[in-house]
Amino acid sequence: MRAFNFYTPKTLAEALELLAQYKGSATVAAGGTDIVIELKERRRNTDCVISINKIKELRYCEVAAGQVRIGALTTFSDLENNPYIKDKVKGLHSCCAHVGSPQIRNLGTIGGNVVNCSVAGDSPTTLMALDASVVLRSKAGKREMKLTDFYADRKKTRIAGDELLTEIYFDAPAKGVATATMKLGKRKALVIVVVGLSILVEKDDSDSITRAQVVVGGVSPKPARLPKVEEYLIGKPVSKNTFAPCAGMLSDIVGSMIPTRASMPYKREGVKGVSDKTFGRILVDFGLGEGGC
Ligand SMILES: Cc1cc2nc3c(=O)[nH]c(=O)nc-3n(C[C@H](O)[C@H](O)[C@H](O)COP(=O)(O)OP(=O)(O)OC[C@H]3O[C@@H](n4cnc5c(N)ncnc54)[C@H](O)[C@@H]3O)c2cc1C
């Protein structure tokens, strides 16, 4: 690792001032679980590292005015242990509880995961199913955008060099909304996503589906919303019979997204089980089933 200046600002204002001084050439570190490896392996060279993990004002999860607002420095453990997330946003809870190991969840932040934008990253798929937005701040001001727009391409976001991601927010799930997330990996611990699926379903009082947000991860440069599956679900009753055909639809979509990849046959088959289990969790969240469809 080559020598660099190292700063540990205690406030957001101090951090934004430093980022402005270095005119976009500084490297931000939050939990450090991705960036320290990149620096050590010299995949990234820098003259300056700004470690933001002492900025307490960026570590929170609050529900206000119908929205869930999560500070960028909130760790996966914070979210895993948050009673509101556990009870009301089961898709996000399950996502956070299955990131890496306890050590990684204690250090890794949701902001770092979103900005790192790995194809195998867990939270972008789930946050996209929640239709989340991000808040970016610099010394010059504040920008907000939908997470779908934040991702430009493979490993590329629309964050500027002098900006920090400060917050992620989404609508608090209302009555009649259920969420679920699952990932398929090659082992039981420290699972890296092979295929990830995250779903939000909203139903009315007669159990008819009024809204569906279905996002697949691990098969394209950024997680992909699946309008074909979403359109199929709208207007249908929440039931095992409605959800069962989604496995075949997802399998066909995944096959068409990565037609020439060696992993295609495995992912195409694997996503069927992921679909059954994830929709099964939606049924459980609605109190209409015991899992699987
Ligand atoms: C053993 C191991 C297992 C892992 N398992 C998983 C897993 O199961 N699922 C998964 O998704 N990831 C996994 N990861 C990757 C990593 O832990 C996550 O991506 C984590 O959320 C990164 O957060 P961090 O705070 O450590 O980010 P850092 O490493 O500090 O930063 C990551 C990137 O984001 C930038 N950044 C961070 N915060 C901000 C901010 N607020 N504003 C602007 N830029 C910012 C940094 O400059 C850097 O480019 C694993 C990593 C390891 C080492």
Residues 79-116: tens digit of each pLDDT: 999 999 999 999 999 999 999 999 999 999 999 999 99
Q: What was the pLDDT predicted at 45?
A: 85
Q: Tell me the C-alpha distance between 105 and 82, whole Å.
A: 13
* CATH of the structural domain 5-51, one choice from 2.40.10, 1.20.1540, 3.30.43, 2.60.40: 3.30.43
Q: What was the pLDDT predicted at 240?
A: 94
**Pairing of the two strands 195-203 and 209-217:** antiparallel
- Specify the 3-state DSSP secondary structure of 235: coil
CATH fold, domain 56-171, is: 3.30.465
Please give the distance, rounded to the nearest whole angstrom, from the Cα atom of residue 92 to the centre of ligand 1.
Answer: 17
- Specify the 3-state DSSP secondary structure of 183: strand
Residue 247 has pLDDT above 80, yes or no: yes
Classify each residue of 32-61 as buried b or exposed e, where b means 16 or more C-beta atoms within 10 Å of its C-beta: bbbbeebbeeeeeebebbbbbbebeebbeb
Q: Where in the chain is the domain with CATH 3.30.465.10?
A: 56-171
Instruction: Give the range among 82-91, 115-124, 202-211 with minimum mean pLDDT.
Output: 115-124
Q: Tell me the C-alpha distance between 223 and 212, whole Å.
A: 16
The secondary structure of residue 56, as a DSSP letter, is G
Mean pLDDT of the chain: 94
Q: Where in the chain is the domain with CATH 3.30.390.50?
A: 177-285
Of 92, 159, 180, which is closest to residue 132 (Cα–Cα)?
A: 92
Q: Name the residue with tokens 């960028």.
A: 72
Q: Which atom of ligand 1 is nearest to the CA of 120?
A: 11
Q: What was the pLDDT predicted at 2?
A: 72
The two tokens of residue 236 are 């249908």
Q: Is the CB of 113 under 6 A from ligand 1?
A: yes
Query: Whole-prediction pTM value?
Result: 0.95
Q: What was the pLDDT predicted at 229?
A: 98
Q: Which residue out of 33, 128, 168, 186 has the highest number of ligand 1 atoms within 8 Å of its CB and is therefore the one to mutate? A: 33
Please give the distance, rounded to the nearest whole angstrom, from the Cα atom of residue 165 to the centre of ligand 1.
Answer: 13
Q: Tell me the C-alpha distance between 61 and 74, whole Å.
A: 7
Q: Is the CB of 176 under 6 A from ligand 1?
A: no
Please give the distance, rounded to the nearest whole angstrom, from the Cα atom of residue 286 to the centre of ligand 1.
Answer: 32
Of 87, 102, 2, which is closest to residue 42 (Cα–Cα)?
A: 2
Radius of gyration of the chain (CA): 19
Please give the distance, rounded to the nearest whole angstrom, from the Cα atom of residue 116 to the centre of ligand 1.
Answer: 6
Q: Name the residue with tokens 């996209």.
A: 128
- pLDDT tens track for 151-177: 987 778 999 999 999 999 999 999 999
CATH architecture of 177-285: 2-Layer Sandwich (3.30)
Longest dimension (CA), the chain: 63
Q: Is the CB of 35 under 6 A from ligand 1?
A: yes
Q: Tell me the C-alpha distance between 291 and 293, whole Å.
A: 7
Residue 185 has pLDDT above 90, yes or no: no
DSSP labels, 105-136: HHH-BHHHHHHH--TT-SHHHHHHHTT-EEEE
Q: Is the CB of 33 under 6 A from ligand 1?
A: yes
What confidence tier does 187 reach under pLDDT thresholds 50, 70, 90? low
Q: Is the CB of 96 under 6 A from ligand 1?
A: no
Q: Which residue out of 28, 101, 147 has the highest number of ligand 1 atoms within 8 Å of its CB and is therefore the one to mutate? A: 28
Residue nearest to atom 12 of ligand 1 (CA): 121
Please give the distance, rounded to the nearest whole angstrom, from the Cα atom of residue 213 to the centre of ligand 1.
Answer: 25
